[in-house]
Amino acid sequence: MDLLDTASVVTISLYALLSTAYKGAQAAYARSADVSSASEELVRPELLPSVDVIVPCFNEDPRTLSECLASIANQEYAGKLRVYVVDDGSANRDAVIPVHETYARDPRFNFVLLRKNVGKRKAQIAAIRRSSGDLVINVDSDTRLAPDVIMKLTRKMQNPVIGAAMGQLTASNRSDTWLTRLIDMEYWLACNEERAAQARFGAVMCCCGPCAMYRRAALLSLLDEYETQLFRGKPSDFGEDRHLTILMLKAGFRTEYVSDAIAATVVPDKVGPYLRQQLRWARSTFRDTLLALRLLPALNGYLTLDVIGQNLGPLLLALSSLTALAQLALTATVPWWTALVIALMTFVRCSVAAIRARQIRFLGFALHTLINIFLLLPLKAYALATLSNSDWLSRKATGLPNGNEQQVIIRSLMAEPNATAGPAIAESIRGANLSGGPSGLVTSDSVCSGE
């Protein structure tokens, strides 16, 4: 059984060397990166770029959707702002229609009602092709934006070579369970270590879906390729944010991270939904890894290390864990070296995070190591073996009765949008009663060709 012991020691040692080099470089570049919103200089409102906010939603809780739209209505942005809320064939439409009617009082808001569930990607595209702003920001329907998010992302996008930028994500329900607390820390690390280091070279590999801004000119040039993504001859229906970011990089645009643009999103509070989400994300990552590899020769050497660390690192950790467990089961010998290395690396990482974030709670992130070894690594292996599966796992497509699958209904005020009227109406929205629609609302329904 000496072979098992040797294999365990070799694999965990290789993992430690790779992880130390990768995480050390990541921490160094993350600290040196300028990931703020850049210039604070005042710009006249008429010179600010117009911004379209795209909010796809499917079976969203009415209260959660209302909180999302309120955070958009209350943005401190003096430029022209238009909002397109796309209901992707929700089965609970009767419950969310009062929310639509309340926010339709704000002339900046438009509501696109798809008769059939077509998926998040096509729901986004249905609104993008109808909108016309200089910049487009995708916001998930369970996400709340800080009041200055759009302004800060817009400042970062002043450089015309930047095609996309994302803000910092937090868990809006962080205090609910031990898992939501853990995910909130995971998000902080993903944003302020991984994305911040990538932003040092203008190559954030995934501008996350809850809050990501794109330059329209760049987006339109990639929209057909984005819409028709295939994997093994089948449409790829998830991983929209990662794939679109890779397409931006492939086209020669920079992608950025803005640490002070804060967006709070709802995260899974139970292990089952969390694992289903991670399975989707793992499949998406594997699908786009080959596309990302083609970019590396033109990018900085650190980004090559980043891709290797994110893909080879988990493989070495999985092999060392398997050999250690086999050694324990077959020889009743405790793999002390493997356990010691993993424990030491976990302690160092959590301590560095606690110091950087100035929050002692990050020491509790050590629990994530056990979840990673015993749940996430087997899940990633399963994801790799089932890459062709495009099931969302958490979505159930539901067609609405008596609906034409090829139609999109647009609900909007008859009056032309007026960007300057929004803040006053937003103030009245804060106290609106969502149990029913507002009286005296005049709307217009028109039918156009849809996805």
| E runs forming strands in 108-243 | 109-114, 135-139, 143-145, 162-171, 211-215, 230-231, 234-235
- Share above pLDDT 70 across residues of the chain, in percent, rounded to a whole number: 81
CATH fold of 45-80+119-273+285-292, please?
Spore Coat Polysaccharide Biosynthesis Protein SpsA; Chain A (3.90.550)
Q: What is the DSSP string of 72-122?
A: HHT----S-EEEEEEEES-TTHHHHHHHHHHHTTSTTEEEEEESS---HHH
Q: Is the pLDDT of residue 31 over 50?
A: yes
Which amino acid type is present at position 234? K
In angstroms and rounded to an integer, the radius of gyration of the C-alpha atoms of the chain is 23
- Of the pLDDT bands very low, low, confident and very high (cuts 50, 70, 90), residue 286 is confident
| Strand, helix or coil for residue 40 | coil
Residue 406: the pLDDT is 41
C-alpha closest to that of 143 among 266, 304, 317, 274? 266
CA gap 251, 245 in Å, rounded: 10
Q: What is the pLDDT of residues 228-278, one digit of tens each?
A: 876 666 666 667 899 899 999 999 999 999 999 999 999 999 999 999 999
**Average pLDDT of every residue of the chain:** 84
State the average pLDDT over residues 47-68.
96
Q: Is the pLDDT of residue 443 over 50?
A: no
CA gap 375, 282 in Å, rounded: 13
Q: Is the pLDDT of residue 430 over 60?
A: no
Q: Is the pLDDT of residue 403 over 60?
A: no
Q: Is the pLDDT of residue 369 over 80?
A: yes
State the average pLDDT over residues 110-115.
93
113-136 burial, b at 16+ Cβ within 10 Å, e below that, comes to: bbbbbbbbbbbbbbbbebbebbbb
Residue 425: the pLDDT is 42
All structural domains of the chain with their residue ranges:
2-30+301-378, 45-80+119-273+285-292
CA gap 437, 88 in Å, rounded: 21
C-alpha closest to that of 365 among 217, 192, 195, 236? 192
CA gap 174, 357 in Å, rounded: 16
- Tell me the pTM: 0.85
Q: What is the pLDDT of residues 197-235, one digit of tens each?
A: 999 999 999 999 899 999 999 999 999 888 887 666 666
C-alpha closest to that of 52 among 417, 424, 431, 450? 417
Both structure tokens of 40:
């604070």
C-alpha closest to that of 161 among 52, 300, 245, 256? 256
CA gap 82, 52 in Å, rounded: 5
Both structure tokens of 329:
């089961």
Q: Which residues pair with 83 in a beta bridge?
A: 53, 109
Residue 227: the pLDDT is 85
Q: Is the pLDDT of residue 322 over 70?
A: yes
Q: What is the pLDDT of residues 135-161, one digit of tens each?
A: 999 999 999 999 999 999 999 999 999
CA gap 285, 295 in Å, rounded: 15
- Quickly tell me which residue has 């993993």 as its tokens: 342
Query: H or E stretch including 222?
Result: helix 216-227
C-alpha closest to that of 263 among 38, 55, 30, 47? 55
